[in-house]
Amino acid sequence: MNADDSRRGELAELARLLPVPAERELPPGRQQTLKEHLMSELRTADTAAAGKTPARRHSRKRAAALAGVLALAAVAGALVYLTRPTPRPSPATVRLLDKIAAVASRQPTLGVRDNQFWYIKSWVAYTDCGNAKCVLEKPHERQIWQSASNQCVTGLLRESGQDTRLIFGTNIPSIKCPYKGSLNDPTYRLLRSLPTDPHALLRLIYRGMQGQQPAPEEAFTTIGDLIREAIAPPRVSAALYRAAALIPGVTVVPDATDAIGRHGVAVAMTSQGIRMEWVFSKRTFQYLGEHDINVADGSTNGEAAILQRAFVDRVGQVPG
């Protein structure tokens, strides 16, 4: 037996002893990879767009990992989760998120009609691990149109010079249309129905994660996706930030940059060697974008900058 086989045997024995159900032991990054691959397959309507990820939640970890690597990562992730400390956010982190939440709560409430679409334009670059080799995409513009009320209505993703129709609800037999979505792929109508109490909202997020491990990192990722490529009512946005202040392991990065180089202060969490940063203006405390950084070497694993958000009357319409 060689060293690799011996190591796999040790990990397998440790996995057997861990009090974590086998079907739930994938750490959040790997679990998210599989989830987003499925969502991509369900939502891709054009054969020419095969291999892309048109789902609302732009994957930051799109690796198609080998089964053996997934198994080893699952055990390692579970071990780290069970042994590492998960400190509560510092008072400075809580104060920063409270300021951000206060700004979000003062934004004007929009009169959104059910037949409208949200439009979000961003500048992005994420790590793509297709063909078993991970490379950072070339930075590019991303535009998305999605129904404000019904996932069964076809939306549009415009990215890298390609238009991809976004179809979700009609591809899943168990979903009855109209469908207002879920936390993983919401509409404005769903976000409007979320609790505005941060404790209740965080409990809802934890319940929706279906046992994914570790829970704090997965909750942070879920909230991060909701504040990046979605538009929530002001009180719900504020609740999301205050819910983040309840998650163990959340920290502050005093100086961070988004995908177009705008400097700000970041709220961050580190998971599997990647520090996920939400970047906010130091002056206005409004959300600018995000930056995912490999802690080991400081390299960029993914980044985004929000350029424009609005509601429009039809797919393909660009706000003035």
CA-to-CA distance for 306 and 141, rounded, in angstroms? 10
- 237: which residues sit within 8 A by CB, 6+ positions away? 101, 104, 105, 107, 227
In a domain, 317, yes or no: no
* 140: number of Cβ within 10 Å: 13
Using one digit for the tens of pLDDT, what is the confidence trace for 223-260?
999 999 999 999 999 999 999 999 999 999 999 999 99
Does the pLDDT value for residue 89 go beyond 70? Answer: yes
- What is the length of the chain? 320
Q: Say what the pLDDT of residue 26 is.
A: 39
- The string of DSSP letters for 125-148 reads EEEE-GGG--EEPPPEEEEEEEES
Least confident of 2-6, 100-104, 120-124, 297-301: 2-6
Of 86-100, 155-169, 199-213, 286-300, highest mean pLDDT: 286-300
214 preceded by a cis bond (ω within 30 of 0): yes
- What's the average model confidence in pLDDT over 165-191? 87
In a domain, 166, yes or no: yes
> What percentage of the chain reaches a pLDDT higher than 90?
63
Q: Say what the pLDDT of residue 40 is.
A: 37
- What's the average model confidence in pLDDT over 303-313? 98
In a domain, 318, yes or no: no
pLDDT band (50, 70, 90) for residue 137: very high
Does the pLDDT value for residue 1 go beyond 90? Answer: no
On whether the CB atoms of residues 33 and 44 are closer than 8 A, the answer is no
Q: Say what the pLDDT of residue 175 is.
A: 86
In a domain, 179, yes or no: yes
Does the pLDDT value for residue 214 go beyond 90? Answer: no
Does the pLDDT value for residue 177 go beyond 80? Answer: yes
On whether the CB atoms of residues 186 and 227 are closer than 8 A, the answer is no
pLDDT band (50, 70, 90) for residue 194: very high
Domain that holds residue 228: 3-312
**How many structural domains compose the chain?**
1
In a domain, 319, yes or no: no
In a domain, 16, yes or no: yes
pLDDT band (50, 70, 90) for residue 172: confident
pLDDT band (50, 70, 90) for residue 167: confident
> What percentage of the chain reaches a pLDDT higher than 70?
71
Using one digit for the tens of pLDDT, what is the confidence trace for 15-34?
443 333 333 333 444 344 33
In a domain, 320, yes or no: no
pLDDT band (50, 70, 90) for residue 132: confident
pLDDT band (50, 70, 90) for residue 66: very low
- What's the average model confidence in pLDDT over 307-312? 98
Average pLDDT score over the chain: 79
